[in-house]
Chains A and B, each alone.
Chain A
């Protein structure tokens, strides 16, 4: 089954304790992205990756890192989490950005709810 898998689904942690949220897709997609969703602010893009070893900042990259060493994986790293990073996080992937007619549809994971105390 084609899917984007995020882990963990839920995490409560404390300020300053490094954490990684993993994202894996099994569709051989080139484009992957991380979003955060906050009440009243909608979905905002944190980082995206056009392909292996190619990453770029989205709208709200501060406090986050990513890496794309393999096509299927795109982990989100919070080196020193702070309470303002408490949010619902989504990973997404698509065949490519700009391929074909319009953006290729993005497939989203089921989300990771992070609480930073």
Chain B
């Protein structure tokens, strides 16, 4: 599975967009990009995933660069409840999830 690199932590002002980057320079053609988050003391929560096209759902948007070597998760209007650890995971179709260290996002009022 491709390795991912995420910043250890980020801060974001409440109401502003939170842009969380992820590097996956060794990604191969059949590997998808997934984002999950884990709010303190809760189970991980699926956010979004994509292969090469940008994706949007009710929670977030996923922007994948044309060469697929990096991606950005965008929370358009961050709230205090979005404070969590965000995990970028790259793996082929059908494989199990492997969570790395992730990015601690702190949303501040």
Which residues in A have some Cβ–Cβ distance to B below 8 Å?
4, 33, 37, 42-43, 45, 48, 58, 90, 92, 97-98, 101-103, 105-111
Query: Which applies to chain B's interface (DSSP): helix, strand, loop or mixed?
Result: loop
Q: Is the beta-carbon distance between B44 and A98 smaller than 8 angstroms?
A: no
B44 near A43 with CB under 8 A, answer: yes
List the B side residues contacting A33 at CB < 8 Å: 96
Chain A neighbourhood of B93, CB < 8 A: 98, 101-103
| Additional 12 contacts, C-beta under 8 A, given A45-B98, A97-B94 | A42-B98, A42-B99, A58-B96, A92-B43, A98-B94, A102-B34, A103-B93, A105-B46, A106-B44, A106-B97, A111-B41, A111-B43
Residues of B in contact, count (CB < 8 Å)? 20
B34 in complex: contacting residue of A90, A103, A111, CB < 8 Å: A103
Known: A90-B44, A110-B43. A42 touches B100 (CB 8 A): yes
Select from chain A the residue with minimum beta-carbon distance to B50. Answer: A102
Measured between alpha carbons, how far is A75 from B38 in the docked complex, in Å?
23
Residues on B close to A: CB < 8 A?
A: 32, 34, 41-46, 49, 51, 91, 93-101
Do the beta carbons of B43 and A101 come within 8 Å of each other?
no
Q: Which residues of B contact A97 (CB under 8 A)?
A: 94, 96
**B51 CB contact (under 8 Å) in A45, A48, A102:** A102
Question: Which residues of B have CB within 8 Å of A90?
Answer: 43-44
Set of chain B residues within 8 Å of A45, measured between Cβ atoms:
96-98
Q: Which residues of B contact A109 (CB under 8 A)?
A: 43
Q: Are A42 and B101 in contact (CB under 8 A)?
A: yes
CA A92 to CA B32, docked complex, whole Å = 19
* Chain A residues, CB < 8 A from B41: 110-111
